[in-house]
Structures are given as C-alpha cells and as structure tokens.
C-alpha cells in the first residue's frame, strides 16, 4: 500500500511514513535557519559594540562578571547575618569599646570594612562620611552594570532591524533570480527574531534581576550602617580613645 492514498472517512490521506519524513525534514530546516551563525553574529556583535561604546571596557567586564552572582546572590540571607552580627557588635562595644569591633569576624566584605571603619574613625561624623561614600560608590557601580545590560536590551531590536534592512536589500537585488531570494529573506526575518530574543529573553531579564538584587543589597547595607552609627553615637567619646586606652 506504500505510495497510495488510504480513504479514511471519505478523506484521502497520504502515507504516514512519507508525511513524517516531510515534517521532520521541514523541522530540521527551520532549526537550521534559527541557529544560522550570520544573523546571530550580526545582532550580538553589533549590540555588544553599541553597549561597549556607551559604557567602556571596564564596565563591560564588570557586567560580565556580574553574571556569576546573578543566580547565587542571597541578599536576604546576608541581611539576616548582618542583623545577627549587630548584637555581637553592641556587646563588644559595651564591654571593650568600639576600638575592638574590627576584631569581630565577618564573612561579608562590606561588613568587615564597616567594622574596620567604625573601629578606626575618630568620631561618628567621620564614620558616617566613610560609610556613605562606600555605599554611594557601590550604588554607582551597580547602576553602571544595570545600565550596560539595559543598553543591550535597547540596542538589540535596532540591530535586528538593521539585519532586516540588509536582508530586504538583498532580496530586491536578487529579484531576477528567485532562487537567491530565500537566504536574503531568512536573514531579514532571523535578525529581527534574534534581536527580540536578545532584548526580551536575555538582556532585559538580566538587567531587572540585577536591579532587584542591587536594591535589596543596598537596603540592608544602608540599614546596617545606620545601626552602627546609632551604636557609636551612644558614647561618642569611645571613638576618640587611643589604642592604648582601648586595650
């Protein structure tokens, strides 16, 4: 019966084996067009160059490194650790003075730096200036990284349209030979698709995730700094003790 149409309920259907082979070949052809290297390179490299031109290589490298903690960062857990450590800071400050707070073990670099600044600051005002500058610098770094990924999300659709225009020009230039229209049309469509994917499924979600992590991280770090200021302001004279007096 191979090669013949079988009547089913009054409808003639082609043989299943031939139909399956045709669908499979069509799917492979579609996948080949989706992952064609030229549209992907055109969109990704063009978008990367635009973002690199806006923010520079230093921010670009920092933005790529930010992908590491993207899924591993746990700002809520760090906040809880910082809150628990504050009780130990208060106990040490009351028993041995603020000069000894830098000896408290802290696994997070921000906490360790804040305790070191607290122990070595001559007064509360100097400590506040130092910790506020640290937080401001960290906020600026976060904003530049988030801006880099937002720039990619903004530039990707535009680069997709550039590829679309290039493909359309190729189509019009090949109108005399219909057999050459297909690759140009594929380029026009695939660059638009890859631009949308890069913007809405890659760069945009990364920027939003980093913005959320930054907001939560800066929130607990700012609260931690304000709490240290409150501890230091209870006995301002303790910050002015010499190392010999605090020993």
210-226 pLDDT, tens digit each? 999 999 999 999 999 99
Q: What is the domain range of residue 199?
A: 37-246
Domain total in the chain: 1
Q: Is residue 134 part of a domain?
A: yes
Q: What pLDDT, on the 0 to 100 scale, is given for residue 246?
A: 42
Of the two residues 94 and 53, the one the predictor is more confident about is: 53
Q: Is residue 133 part of a domain?
A: yes
Q: What pLDDT, on the 0 to 100 scale, is given for residue 97?
A: 81
What are the structure tokens assigned to 50, written together?
Answer: 């635009």
Q: What pLDDT, on the 0 to 100 scale, is given for residue 245?
A: 44
Output the average pLDDT for the chain. Answer: 84
Q: Is residue 30 part of a domain?
A: no
**Predicted confidence (pLDDT) per residue in 18-29, tens digit:** 555 555 666 676
The predicted model gives 133-144 an average pLDDT of 96
Q: Is residue 181 part of a domain?
A: yes
Whole-number percent of the chain with pLDDT over 70:
82
* Out of 120-129, 145-154, 190-199, 232-241, least confident range: 232-241
Q: Is 104 helix (H, G, I), strand (E, B) or coil?
A: coil
Q: Is residue 19 part of a domain?
A: no
Of the two residues 49 and 107, the one the predictor is more confident about is: 49
Q: What pLDDT, on the 0 to 100 scale, is given for residue 5?
A: 40
Spatial distance between the Cα atoms of 40 and 60, rounded to a whole number of angstroms:
20
**Is 9's pLDDT higher than 60?**
no
Match 């937080």 to its residue by tokens.
Answer: 135
Q: What pLDDT, on the 0 to 100 scale, is given for residue 8?
A: 37
Q: Residue 195: pLDDT band by 50, 70, 90 thresholds? A: very high
**Contact status, residue 101 vs residue 93, Cβ threshold 8 Å:** yes
Q: Is residue 3 part of a domain?
A: no
Of the two residues 36 and 46, the one the predictor is more confident about is: 46
Q: Residue 235: pLDDT band by 50, 70, 90 thresholds? A: low
Q: What pLDDT, on the 0 to 100 scale, is given for residue 151?
A: 97
Q: Is residue 206 part of a domain?
A: yes
Q: What pLDDT, on the 0 to 100 scale, is given for residue 19?
A: 53
Q: Residue 236: pLDDT band by 50, 70, 90 thresholds? A: low
CA 109 to centroid of chain Cα atoms: 21
| Cβ contacts of 201 within 8 Å, gap of 6 or more | none
**Is 171's pLDDT higher than 60?**
yes
**Contact status, residue 184 vs residue 43, Cβ threshold 8 Å:** no
Q: What pLDDT, on the 0 to 100 scale, is given for residue 1?
A: 44
Of the two residues 64 and 121, the one the predictor is more confident about is: 64
Of the two residues 174 and 17, the one the predictor is more confident about is: 174
User: DSSP string of 160-197?
Assistant: HHHHHHHHHHHHHHTTT-GGGHHHHHHHHHHHHHHHHH
Q: Is residue 75 part of a domain?
A: yes
**Is 49's pLDDT higher than 60?**
yes
The predicted model gives 187-191 an average pLDDT of 89
């Amino acid at each position: 019966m191979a090669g013949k149409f079988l009547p089913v309920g009054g409808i003639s259907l082609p043989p299943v084996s031939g139909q399956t082979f045709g669908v499979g070949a069509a799917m492979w052809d579609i996948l080949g067009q989706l992952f064609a290297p030229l549209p992907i390179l055109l969109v990704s490299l063009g978008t990367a160059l635009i973002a690199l031109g806006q923010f520079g290589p230093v921010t670009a490298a920092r933005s790529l490194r930010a992908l590491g903690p993207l899924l591993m960062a746990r700002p809520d857990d760090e906040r809880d650790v910082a809150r628990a450590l504050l009780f130990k800071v208060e106990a040490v400050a009351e028993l041995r003075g603020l000069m000894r707070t830098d000896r408290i073990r802290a696994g997070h670099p921000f906490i360790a730096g804040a305790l070191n600044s607290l122990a070595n600051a001559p007064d509360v005002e100097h400590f506040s200036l130092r910790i506020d500058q640290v937080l401001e610098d960290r906020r600026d770094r976060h904003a530049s990284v988030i801006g880099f990924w937002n720039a990619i999300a903004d530039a990707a659709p535009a680069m997709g349209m550039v590829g679309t225009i290039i493909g359309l020009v190729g189509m019009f230039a090949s109108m005399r030979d219909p057999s050459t229209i297909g690759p140009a049309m594929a380029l026009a469509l695939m660059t638009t698709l890859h631009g949308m994917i890069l913007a809405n499924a890659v760069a945009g979600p990364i920027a939003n995730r980093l913005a959320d992590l930054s907001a939560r991280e800066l929130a607990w770090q700012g609260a931690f700094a304000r709490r240290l200021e409150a501890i230091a302001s209870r006995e301002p004279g303790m910050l002015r003790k010499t190392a010999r007096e605090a020993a």
